[in-house]
Structure 1
């Protein structure tokens, strides 16, 4: 008899709410909203601290209304959010006592994290904070030899003295502030390990022990451990203490979901941008449609995963109008179909040709994307479905075995009465089984 590792047992308990929620909002926001060329602008354009300083002196998001952000997220069907408390440029949206490089010292004069936490809590959403392990502003973070630092390869930085342990003290101290000064925090989203900087290079065990002492129910991503974006020990039977509670593939929905060495599903979320950038980019108007977003969400759930969908507010503190419209449209679909998302997961049935299945207990949800021609086939379900209904209005859906389909006696067919689906984004039929097994996972 095998016994599950205590860290895995604890991880599975902590992530129960997370995996039921299924849909969250990622928010990338900071000084980089002013140059408006994405959150990596400092690195890509090799901008020094001095050249970046004017953005600090200009930062004044007079239209920042986090309650409106929270209402938008909630209306879209999102159940949690993650905000960049500090991104790679080192600028803090919170009133840290360990640095002057923070929002309270800009013209904004406000602790923007505190306002975010209060606003999202008030809307009943779970609250997460993103914290970059990198810091291009801190004097002790590696610069000349680092592969991402804006001053990489700059001769003026070759021999500058740097004390990385002093930076780690600073980093650990700021994380303690975030987990002490803002009430209950549900998610800590670290970003990211690379090269030799992973695991204990961050004093990760010490960091996790401190975080858990401050917030026992906190769930943490796997990027303290992972060099690059691999799972490292996360999906093994013996994870390190800092392996994390969930994996977070970026800009990718894993083809078959994520599983451990025994084929069992592990907690994960795909973090995806709405356009091509995380931070605000004034010229990037390549937005995904609401239909694409809904299909991505359904795909994640059908593979036992979550979708963390990103918005990048502008320098005034506004979520772009295009993002708002997309999320509002997603919310219209979710208002009628969230039953097939929340608390659901992978189905016992294989992916059909017309869409995807999700499942909760003995109810299978058929997400139909394409009407096709002729009856819609539910393979292998003849004699197994006691009731079928359209979840948008709970109206009965009649299933049958047409005379013309006598060679498919194991299947059921939905002979839709019209040439068009009632919902062009995704029509959802709930198939309540007589004795259906629980969803795999």
Structure 2
């Protein structure tokens, strides 16, 4: 049951940090701008994460209500945040710091689960073949550059680096591989499971870290699936069985620091996305992209603070909660934790909210934000309603009476104690 902690936590933080953070133009800047290794080298030569504080990130994650944090050990550009013996393209070479070590120690210090991200792609490695996803794909001499490249040597490198990460830092709780793209574009194939020797790579993960969760992006089934930048509309199922899943979301559409991207999601929208995920038995992994010096960007910090204040009051509706077997009203979504049913009101109704099928099943109702009691009633559909009495509700409907003024929180939540009948 390696995913028990994962199902309980429900909310995690993604941290994308690397050379692209100083470029400040999206983590795919090398790909988008077709930069050569020499052109990209300037970010390595000037890498200066003097404000990267793993302990501060851990505290912020915990204050935001998150139970785990995932760090990019290496993104597609091949730059490693640990002291790898297999390359000198690392933070240890650039600034004499093993940022993975700092991260792992900080997360454990705050009691958070430790997650590592590792790209299967490596545009820096001399044996990683140029394909339609590579920054050099449009070079006139791309074919000639590929002539001496050998993916078997790259596979050895990839497996060797994963072995370093899974043997050098104690217990790792979560590993996020990224990503497999076997489809054909621009007259050539991408890379599939065979390019990574995915079966052997997953087997090594199981051998070295048997309690670790592994995502699905090796291109073969693993422990959980990772919808990215969209929200599912129902619990995920495969062959009639529920699938463990996690929605990966950004604050502004970019994973790495993108200085001029101000398309920031509001705290309210992000909380709605979080509870929407939990209502379908899913998790949400929310990303931050520290700036070129490693600091959490002020606009991101402000949003996380808002979410953290909401989580302080409403944590029980998310952590340890999941899908509820009741049809929610049109105004919101349900989550459930034991005998507590939580109604997250995406829209604030006038005076009443009507809950189908819950008459006789609720012993107490309150606003979770301040613990204030809410009156409930059950209307009799056989009696003619007066012009001031709720009417038109199906038999078995429970009506919760609400104040006219919406609570001053990011998202109001009603906690209902179920009778068990």
TM-score class, shorter-chain normalisation, is: over 0.9
The residue number in structure 2 matching 1:69 is: 57
The residue number in structure 1 matching 2:186 is: none
The residue number in structure 1 matching 2:396 is: 410
Please, what TM-score do these two structures have when normalized by structure 2?
0.93
Q: In structure 1, the residue corresponding to 2:181 is in which secondary structure?
A: coil
The residue number in structure 1 matching 2:249 is: 272
Does residue 1:179 correspond to 2:156, yes or no?
no
1:42-441 correspondence to structure 2 within 5 Å: 42-106=30-94, 108-143=95-130, 146-160=131-145, 161-195=148-182, 197-225=191-219, 242-262=220-240, 264-401=241-378, 404-405=389-390, 408=393, 409-416=395-402, 418-435=403-420
Q: In structure 2, the residue corresponding to 1:352 is in which secondary structure?
A: coil
- Rounded to whole Å, the distance in 2 between the matches of 1:153 and 1:385 is 64
Q: In structure 1, the residue corresponding to 2:23 is in which secondary structure?
A: coil
- Rounded to whole Å, the distance in 2 between the matches of 1:407 and 1:355 is 19
The answer (yes or no) to whether the contact 2:11–2:285 under 8 Å persists in 1 is yes
Q: How many Å apart are 1:420 and its aligned residue?
A: 1.4
How many residues end up aligned between the 2 structures?
403
Does residue 1:22 correspond to 2:7, yes or no?
no
- Rounded to whole Å, the distance in 2 between the matches of 1:200 and 1:432 is 51
- Rounded to whole Å, the distance in 1 between the matches of 2:235 and 2:180 is 22
Q: In structure 2, the residue corresponding to 1:297 is in which secondary structure?
A: helix
The residue number in structure 1 matching 2:185 is: none
User: Structure 1 pair 377/171, CA: closer, same or farther in 2 (3 Å)?
Assistant: same
The answer (yes or no) to whether the contact 1:141–1:167 under 8 Å persists in 2 is yes
Q: In structure 2, the residue corresponding to 1:25 is in which secondary structure?
A: strand
The answer (yes or no) to whether the contact 2:328–2:355 under 8 Å persists in 1 is no
Which digits, 9 at most, give the CA deviation of each residue in 1:286-334, with x for residues without a partner? Answer: 1111111111100000011000000000111101000001001100000
The residue number in structure 2 matching 1:40 is: 28
The answer (yes or no) to whether the contact 1:369–1:424 under 8 Å persists in 2 is no
- Rounded to whole Å, the distance in 2 between the matches of 1:57 and 1:179 is 28
The answer (yes or no) to whether the contact 1:358–1:364 under 8 Å persists in 2 is yes
- Rounded to whole Å, the distance in 2 between the matches of 1:341 and 1:352 is 19
Q: How many Å apart are 1:157 and its aligned residue?
A: 2.9
Q: In structure 1, the residue corresponding to 2:224 is in which secondary structure?
A: coil
- Rounded to whole Å, the distance in 2 between the matches of 1:201 and 1:59 is 31
- Rounded to whole Å, the distance in 2 between the matches of 1:276 and 1:406 is 44
The answer (yes or no) to whether the contact 2:369–2:409 under 8 Å persists in 1 is no
Q: In structure 1, the residue corresponding to 2:237 is in which secondary structure?
A: coil
Which digits, 9 at most, give the CA deviation of each residue in 1:82-107, with x for residues without a partner? Answer: 1110000000011000001000111x
Unaligned runs of 5+ in 1: 1-12, 226-241, 437-441
The answer (yes or no) to whether the contact 1:302–1:345 under 8 Å persists in 2 is yes
Q: How many Å apart are 1:154 and its aligned residue?
A: 1.1
The answer (yes or no) to whether the contact 2:277–2:284 under 8 Å persists in 1 is yes
- Rounded to whole Å, the distance in 2 between the matches of 1:189 and 1:162 is 26
- Rounded to whole Å, the distance in 1 between the matches of 2:82 and 2:58 is 18
- Rounded to whole Å, the distance in 1 between the matches of 2:50 and 2:391 is 67
Q: In structure 2, the residue corresponding to 1:129 is in which secondary structure?
A: strand
* Superposition CA RMSD, Å: 1.4
The answer (yes or no) to whether the contact 1:369–1:425 under 8 Å persists in 2 is no
- Rounded to whole Å, the distance in 2 between the matches of 1:200 and 1:155 is 27
- Rounded to whole Å, the distance in 2 between the matches of 1:435 and 1:282 is 52
- Rounded to whole Å, the distance in 1 between the matches of 2:49 and 2:217 is 30
Which digits, 9 at most, give the CA deviation of each residue in 1:135-155, with x for residues without a partner? Answer: 100000011xx0111101312
